[in-house]
Amino acid sequence: MLAATDLTTRLAEAEARYVRSNPRSRRMHEERARFMPGGSTRSTIHQPPFPLTIIRGEGATITDADGHVYLDFLGEYTAALFGHSHPVIVEAIRDSLAEGIVLGAPNRHEAALAEAICARIPSIELVRFCNSGTEANLLALSLCRAVTGRSGVLVFAGAYHGGILLFSHGISPLNPPFDWFVAEYNDPESAVRVIREHAHELAAVIVEPLQGAAGVIPGDPEFLRTLREATHANEVLLVFDEVMTARLARGGMQERLGLTPDLTTLAKFVGGGLSFGAFGGRGDLMSRFDPSRPDAFQHGGTFNNEVLTMAAGAAGLTQVLADTEIERLNGLGDRLRERLNALAGERELEFCATGLGSLVGLHFTRGPVRSERDVPDAQALRALLHLHMLERGFSYGRRGFIALSLPLGEVEVGAFADAVEVFPLEIALK
Ligand SMILES: Cc1ncc(COP(=O)(O)O)c(C=O)c1O
């Protein structure tokens, strides 16, 4: 293991180079900080000493304020699945822009998007739109609580269900005051125990079929199947948060797993790259939002059917996201993961790549990584690798988060792996 002082020195040198080569990003960060706390309106994308300000995105590349061009392996935490400025999506936005926005009524695009979603994910018999994944999860859980008359929700340690639905190393103080129960991810016994013991208090279990923010950790099929069986048996509703995982198959992870949740939440790429959220599922639950019913639940939202998003999302799902492209991208991710894990194995490194298909996580441990407990903090090493990759023209999430996007191919993914290989993994990690 690299001595702590060496690591500190290397990181300080890398940060100094970063500061020197990004004067405009630094200035823009300082300007933002005059009006926004810490210069940020989105904690996820802050990173010390300051984040790069990105001024353009085209295809697989992004350009920062100082003119550096990066291959984008972050893919906006999965929302940029289509890449930047995909011509079909840009055209759909342009066309609908020409017809006017904020129309204050149903528009001609929303049925197309709803139909495309329901066709892809059969468990979604009816769907409603909102503006973010956070909102989708809040609405899905609120629906569960309202229909069951129970207030408890079982979540899994490390889960990220949104800006105010955060369960990383505890329950965020900003979360809504539901009665939260927290079990270990990938530990079916502990989950079943909570479900059985608290069935009378639980409205829902919400789970990411693959935990994204916690470290790109796939759920064991057996774990997820057990959740389905235990929720069924105890009359608790099951919500699949497929905000990140919907991209892994035409019908999302539930299709790969052969499981049918009661409700599913979506966001990110499903809106074509514009701000979007959706929740849907069983007809008997979702029909409570039918405004013509005397007992209808009210669910307003000025931008729920925002015209540009509806048009962009429909174009993305119906014209761009072919099944063959999903497969191709998953293959690229699988090969990247296999190559990095082979490298770590050959050199006996404390390093591994996690994930499934086009979602990849990088960690400074041999693994296995099965829950947030297995993810080492390793902040300095994560920062050093991240700065190393930026210097070589690759952008990804500093915490080790990679989401491949459609404009990427074998050449780019191979080059990314080459760049990881020349990081001094041996010196640092043996
Ligand atoms: C699994 C999961 N659920 C929900 C969300 C929240 O989505 P949004 O950022 O659109 O609110 C995210 C965001 O990263 C996510 O990864």
- The mean per-residue pLDDT over the stretch 295-302 comes to 97
CB atoms within 10 A of CB 146: 13
Q: Is the CB of 167 under 6 A from ligand 1?
A: no
Q: Report pLDDT digits (tens) over 335-344.
A: 999 999 999 9
Residue 427 CB burial class (10 angstroms; 0-12, 13-18, ≥19): exposed
Spatial separation of the C-alpha atoms in residues 390 and 382, rounded to whole Å: 12
Spatial separation of the C-alpha atoms in residues 48 and 68, rounded to whole Å: 18
Query: Probe ligand 1: pick from 161, 172, 265, max atoms within 8 Å of CB?
Result: 161
- The mean per-residue pLDDT over the stretch 47-56 comes to 97
Q: Is the CB of 161 under 6 A from ligand 1?
A: yes
* Phi, psi (deg, nearest 5) at residue 312: -65, -45
Q: 2 pLDDT band (50/70/90 cuts)? A: low
C-alpha of residue 134 to centroid of ligand 1, in Å: 6
Determine if the peptide bond prior to 49 is cis (ω within 30°).
yes
Say if residues 204 and 165 touch (Cβ distance below 8 Å): no
Residue 303 CB burial class (10 angstroms; 0-12, 13-18, ≥19): middle
Which pLDDT score, from 0 to 100, does residue 6 have? 87
- The mean per-residue pLDDT over the stretch 252-258 comes to 98
Span of 184-198, 217-231, 332-346, 414-428 with lowest mean pLDDT: 414-428
- Reduce the DSSP state of residue 285 to 3 states and report it: helix
C-alpha of residue 268 to centroid of ligand 1, in Å: 7
Q: Report pLDDT digits (tens) over 230-249.
A: 999 999 999 999 999 999 99
Q: Is the CB of 307 under 6 A from ligand 1?
A: no
Contacts of 218 (CB under 8 A, 6+ apart): 209, 210, 354, 355, 356
CB atoms within 10 A of CB 106: 10
**Whether pLDDT at 429 is above 90:** no
Q: Which residue has the tokens 């859980």?
A: 141
C-alpha of residue 4 to centroid of ligand 1, in Å: 34
Determine if the peptide bond prior to 368 is cis (ω within 30°).
yes
- The mean per-residue pLDDT over the stretch 125-141 comes to 98
Q: Is the CB of 134 under 6 A from ligand 1?
A: yes
Q: Is the CB of 397 under 6 A from ligand 1?
A: no
End-to-end CA, the chain: 5
Q: What's the pTM? A: 0.97
Spatial separation of the C-alpha atoms in residues 75 and 81, rounded to whole Å: 6
Q: Report pLDDT digits (tens) over 31-40.
A: 999 999 999 9
Average pLDDT, the chain: 96
Q: Is the CB of 168 under 6 A from ligand 1?
A: no
Closest residue by Cα to atom 7, ligand 1, is 133
Q: 424 pLDDT band (50/70/90 cuts)? A: confident
Residue 414 CB burial class (10 angstroms; 0-12, 13-18, ≥19): middle
Which ranges of 60-132 would DSSP assign to H, the alpha helix? Answer: 87-99, 110-120
H or E segment to which residue 217 belongs = strand 217-218
Q: Which atom of ligand 1 is nearest to the CA of 131?
A: 10
Closest residue by Cα to atom 3, ligand 1, is 161
Contacts of 408 (CB under 8 A, 6+ apart): 60, 71, 73, 83, 329, 332
Q: Which atom of ligand 1 is nearest to the CA of 133?
A: 7
Q: Report pLDDT digits (tens) over 9-24.
A: 999 999 999 999 999 9
C-alpha of residue 158 to centroid of ligand 1, in Å: 13
- The mean per-residue pLDDT over the stretch 302-325 comes to 98
Spatial separation of the C-alpha atoms in residues 349 and 231, rounded to whole Å: 40
Chain centroid to CA 358 = 12
Q: Which atom of ligand 1 is nearest to the CA of 242?
A: 1
Which pLDDT score, from 0 to 100, does residue 430 have? 45
Spatial separation of the C-alpha atoms in residues 197 and 229, rounded to whole Å: 15
Q: Is the CB of 133 under 6 A from ligand 1?
A: yes
Q: 124 pLDDT band (50/70/90 cuts)? A: very high
Q: Is the CB of 329 under 6 A from ligand 1?
A: no
Report the C-alpha dihedral over residues 414, 70, 360, 333, rounded to 10 degrees: -40
**Whether pLDDT at 428 is above 70:** no
Q: Is the CB of 272 under 6 A from ligand 1?
A: no
Say if residues 159 and 167 touch (Cβ distance below 8 Å): yes
- The mean per-residue pLDDT over the stretch 396-408 comes to 98
Q: Tokens in use for 389? A: 């990759």
Which pLDDT score, from 0 to 100, does residue 5 have? 73
Higher pLDDT among residues 6 and 292, named by residue: 292
Chain centroid to CA 217 = 12
Spatial separation of the C-alpha atoms in residues 148 and 154, rounded to whole Å: 14
C-alpha of residue 176 to centroid of ligand 1, in Å: 16
Q: Would you name the residues annotated as active-site residues? A: 160, 241, 268
**Whether pLDDT at 306 is above 90:** yes
Q: Tokens in use for 51? A: 């984040």
C-alpha of residue 168 to centroid of ligand 1, in Å: 13
* Phi, psi (deg, nearest 5) at residue 179: -85, 95
H or E segment to which residue 230 belongs = helix 221-233
